[in-house]
C-alpha cells in the first residue's frame, strides 16, 4: 500500500544539511510509490524548498516565522504538529541530528505514536516497513517494525544514500501559517564550537587523532592531511581529556557517532568507548606504532609505525595524487 510520508529538512548557514536529502530518500522508500512531502521550518527559507523537490520530494510545505530562525523545542514542535494535522501523513522522517533527536520524540509523544531512532537501513516487505538500528554501542543490530499508528523515525547521517539531484524537477511549495507562542527558551546567540568547516557527523572522510599525537600542536599534522582530502578532523576521548583538542571533536560512545566512507585513525588505541562511535565506518585505516593495538582488530588496513613519519608522507602522496588528477 502506498503511503504519504513527510521528510523534515534541516538548514545550516543557509544551506540544507545533507541528511535532509537522505531523509527524502528514506521517505521515498517507505512511501512505496506514494507521496513524499518535504517540510521546512525557519525564517526566509521558502526559496530553498524547491531543492527538496529536486532531490525527490513531490512537493514541499514551509512554516515561516522569525520564532523558528533558531531551533527551540516549543517552536519546532508546535510548527511540526500543525503540519502533521494539516497533511495527516502515514509517517515522518527526521535526520538523527541534535534537532531530530530532540524534536522527533516530542512530536511522536504528542501524537501518541512510537519512534524508531537512529535507523541505518530501511526495507519494505509487503505492508511492513523494517528499520535496522544499532544497539549495544554498535556491537549488534536489531530490526524494528512499526505495528500501528504513524511511522516516526530518525535516520543516522551517511547511511541512506540520497537520490540524484534532478534540477528539472519542480513541484508545489505551500505555506502553513502557525501562531507560535509560549516559547520557554530564548536563543540569544549561537556559538559554534568547532575547529573545522566540514561537519563531522556528515563527513565522508574523517581523520581522527588519539593520545598518540602527544600534544595539541601535533593535531596540525591531521589538519594538513584533512585539508588535502577534504576531510573532517575528529579525536578520541583520550585526546580530548588530555586537552589536545576540543570536546566538539570527540568521537565515541559519549561523543559523536560517525559512519564516513573512510576513517583514518591516527595514534588511537581502539578503546571500546571510541570504537562505539566509528566502527560502522565503511573503510577504516589505522596508524599506530603498537602492533597489538585494539584498533587493528576492526581496521580494514593497518599501518604499524611512527605516525610522525607516516602522516606527513601520506599527506605528500595525497597532494601528488590531487595535483596529477
Residue-by-residue pLDDT tens, the chain, 325 positions = 899 999 999 998 889 999 999 999 999 999 999 999 999 999 999 999 999 999 999 999 999 999 999 999 999 999 999 999 999 999 999 999 999 999 999 999 999 999 999 999 999 998 899 999 999 878 899 999 998 889 999 999 999 999 999 999 999 999 999 999 999 988 888 877 655 567 788 899 999 999 999 999 999 999 999 999 999 999 999 999 999 999 989 999 889 999 999 999 999 999 999 999 999 899 999 999 999 999 999 999 999 999 999 999 999 999 998 777 7
Sequence-distant (≥ 6) Cβ neighbours of residue 48 within 8 angstroms: 9, 11, 14, 15, 16, 40
Q: Within 13 A of 172's CA, how many CA atoms are on the CB side?
A: 6
For the chain, which residues make up each domain, given as ranges?
Answer: 4-175, 205-323
Report the binding-site residues for FAD: 211, 236-237, 250-254, 267-274, 288
Architecture of 205-323 per CATH?
3-Layer(aba) Sandwich (3.40)
Class of domain 4-175: alpha beta
Torsion angles phi and psi, residue 62, rounded to 5: -120, 140
| Residue ranges in 35-117 assigned as alpha helix (H) | 49-54, 73-87, 98-110
Contact in structure between 234 and 256 (CB atoms under 8 Å): yes
Q: Same topology for domains 4-175 and 205-323, yes or no?
A: yes
Provide the grid cell at 137.
Answer: 554501542
Contact in structure between 31 and 145 (CB atoms under 8 Å): no
Nearest partner of 288 among 273, 271, 278, judged by Cα: 271
Report the binding-site residues: 211, 236-237, 250-254, 267-274, 288
Per DSSP, the chain holds a count of helices (H) and strands (E) of 8, 17
Residue whose entry in the numeric block shows the C-alpha cell 544539511: 17
Amino acid at each position: 500500500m502506498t503511503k504519504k510520508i513527510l521528510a523534515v529538512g534541516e538548514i545550516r548557514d543557509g544551506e540544507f544539511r545533507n541528511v535532509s536529502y537522505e531523509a527524502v530518500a528514506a521517505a521515498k522508500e517507505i512511501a512505496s510509490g506514494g507521496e513524499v512531502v518535504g517540510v521546512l521550518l525557519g525564517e526566509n527559507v521558502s526559496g530553498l524548498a524547491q531543492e527538496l523537490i529536486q532531490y525527490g520530494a513531490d512537493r514541499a510545505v514551509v512554516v515561516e516565522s522569525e520564532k523558528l530562525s533558531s531551533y527551540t523545542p516549543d517552536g519546532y514542535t508546535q510548527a511540526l504538529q500543525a503540519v502533521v494535522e494539516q497533511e495527516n501523513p502515514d509517517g515522518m522522517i527526521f535526520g538523527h541530528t541534535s534537532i531530530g533527536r530532540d524534536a522527533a520524540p516530542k512530536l511522536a509523544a504528542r501524537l501518541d505514536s512510537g519512534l524508531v531512532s537512529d535507523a541505518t537501513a530501511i526495507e519494505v516487505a509487503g505492508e511492513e516497513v523494517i528499520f535496522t538500528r544499532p544497539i549495544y554501542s554498535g556491537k549488534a543490530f536489531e530490526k524494528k517494525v512499526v505495528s500501528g499508528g504513524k511511522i516516526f523515525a530518525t535516520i543516522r547521517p551517511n547511511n541512506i544514500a540520497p537520490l540524484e539531484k534532478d534540477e528539472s524537477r519542480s513541484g508545489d511549495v505551500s505555506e502553513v501559517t502557525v501562531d507560535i507562542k509560549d516559547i520557554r527558551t530564548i536563543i540569544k546567540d549561537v556559538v559554534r564550537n568547532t575547529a573545522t568547516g566540514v561537519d563531522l557527523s556528515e563527513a565522508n572522510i574523517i581523520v581522527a587523532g588519539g593520545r598518540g599525537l602527544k600534544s595539541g600542536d601535533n593535531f596540525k599534522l591531521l589538519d594538513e592531511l584533512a585539508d588535502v582530502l577534504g576531510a573532517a578532523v575528529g579525536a578520541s576521548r583520550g585526546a580530548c581529556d588530555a586537552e589536545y583538542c576540543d570536546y566538539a571533536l570527540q568521537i565515541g560512545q559519549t561523543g559523536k557517532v560517525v559512519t564516513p566512507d573512510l576513517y583514518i585513525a591516527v595514534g588511537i588505541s581502539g578503546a571500546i568507548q571510541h570504537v562505539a562511535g566509528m566502527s560502522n565506518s565503511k573503510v577504516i585505516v589505522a596508524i599506530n606504532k603498537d602492533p597489538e593495538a585494539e584498533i587493528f582488530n576492526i581496521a580494514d588496513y593497518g599501518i604499524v609505525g611512527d605516525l610522525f613519519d607516516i602522516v606527513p608522507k601520506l599527506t605528500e602522496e595525497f597532494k601528488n595524487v590531487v595535483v596529477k588528477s
